[in-house]
Amino acid sequence: MSLILLTGVNGQLGWELQRTLAPLGQVVALPRAQLDLSQPEMIRTVVREYRPGIIVNPAAYTAVDKAESEPDLAHAINAVAPGVLAEEAQKIGALLVHYSTDYVFDGGNPAPYTEDDRPNPQSVYGQSKLAGEDAVRASGCAHVVLRTSWVYGVHGGNFVKTVLRLAKERNELRIVSDQFGAPTWARRLALGSAEILRQCRANPDDASRLGLFHLTAAGRTNWHEYAEEIVRLARQHDPLLRDKPIVIEAIPTSAYPLPAPRPANSVLATGRIRNAFGLALPNWQEDLAECVRELYSGTLQAE
């Protein structure tokens, strides 16, 4: 079984991948201290040392608003580093699995975006992630780039945990209702990634299983409706929330200004990955219910 080099193991997705990839081979999971993606020479040294058959790169600079004031660091981690990983993968014939974002789109399209739609990122984060996609493609290495959206999970910080905290602290929440997307569970993404790797390994010469794919939960929502669903689910598990009056007010994006602009619509069409891998993730509500249940069960509480 080939060695799998995994980055970003303390992130939402990396933490899940560490577990879901284990049945596929020996996973060398390196935290930032051992593989700092802002250091290209360190990346080259590590890849040359381990000579993995597969590199999986969920690590990224994901602070969307902070990136507006740290464009160089965001570019180093999200654009330069994937390019270096890809160059090294090409040299040793490794397969690279890399992750990108719905924020590569400007959000002006009312329909779900396909892989063939033209990206037009509006934020530094989105621009840096698109540059990362381009660098991976330009390297010529065998790659699978998975664009996903609105990631949440049991490990790490995310919108679900923020809403759960605010619902405990306050009686009133104000959440934007004019940005649409698909909340996607890190666990489900990690399981999907493992299935993709299994199929790529079993069909190494099949080019239809390589390239750019959208992988998100099914369905669409906005942040306000998403918050309402989080609170509705939490009331089933949390006695402190069960009868607490909580008003969730729907507000426009203009009433909640942030440094980085967000796309109004970033729902991604997932037909290509269904055709190539037979992979379709469940509806966002289904996975959210499972994740909230797990957060309250405490069995997998990592923090």
Ligand X SMILES: NC(=O)c1ccc[n+]([C@@H]2O[C@H](COP(=O)([O-])OP(=O)(O)OC[C@H]3O[C@@H](n4cnc5c(N)ncnc54)[C@H](OP(=O)(O)O)[C@@H]3O)[C@@H](O)[C@H]2O)c1
Q: Which of 194, 142, 184, 185 is nearest to 17 (CA)?
A: 194
The amino acid sitting at 12 is Q
103 is an active site residue: no
Which residue in 38, 109, 120, 283 binds ligand X (CB under 6 A)? 38
User: Of all helices (H) and strands (E), which one includes residue 251?
Assistant: strand 247-251
Among 20, 101, 123, 221, the residue binding ligand X under the rule CB under 6 A is 101
Identity of the residue, 103 or 277, whose beta carbon is nearer to ligand X in the bound complex? 103
Among 4, 59, 104, 276, the residue binding ligand X under the rule CB under 6 A is 59
Catalytic residue among 125, 152, 226, 256: 125
Question: Which span (45-53, 145-153, 200-208, 238-246) binds ligand X, by CB under 6 A?
Answer: 145-153
Asked if 52 and 2 count as a contact pair (C-beta separation under 8 A), the reply is yes
What is d(CA 96, CA 64) in angstroms, rounded to the nearest whole number? 24
Neighbours of 247 (CB within 10 A): 9
Q: Is 169 exposed, middle or buried (0-12, 13-18, 19+ CB in 10 A)?
A: exposed
Task: Judge contact between 123 and 103, C-beta under 8 A.
Answer: yes
99 binds ligand X (CB under 6 A): yes
Report in angstroms how near the CB of residue 63 gets to ligand X at its nearest.
8
Buried (b) or exposed (e) across 184-201, using 16+ Cβ within 10 A? bbbbbbbbbbbebbebbb
Residue 87 sits in the site that holds ligand X (CB under 6 A): no
* Residue 40 or 238 with smaller CB distance to ligand X: 40
Do the bridges between strand 143-148 and strand 211-214 make them parallel or antiparallel, or are there none, so unpaired? parallel
| In the complex, residue closest to ligand X by CB | 11
Residue 11 touches ligand X, criterion: CB under 6 A: yes
Number of residues engaging ligand X in binding (CB under 6 A): 28
State which residue, 131 or 151, has the beta carbon closest to ligand X: 151
Residue closer to ligand X by CB (options 218, 241) is: 218
Q: Which is nearer to ligand X, 148 or 265 (CB)?
A: 148
Q: Is 55 in the site for ligand X (CB under 6 A)?
A: no
Among 19, 26, 32, 115, contact with ligand X (rule: CB under 6 A): 32
Q: How many CA atoms lie within 13 A of 253 on its CB side?
A: 13
Under 8 Å CB-to-CB from 243, ≥6 apart: which residues?
none
Considering the rule CB under 6 A, would residue 36 count as an interface residue with ligand X? yes
Query: Which residues contribute to the site for ligand X (CB under 6 A)?
Result: 7-8, 10-14, 32, 35-38, 58-62, 77, 99, 101-102, 129, 148-151, 156, 186
Catalytic residue numbers, as ranges: 125
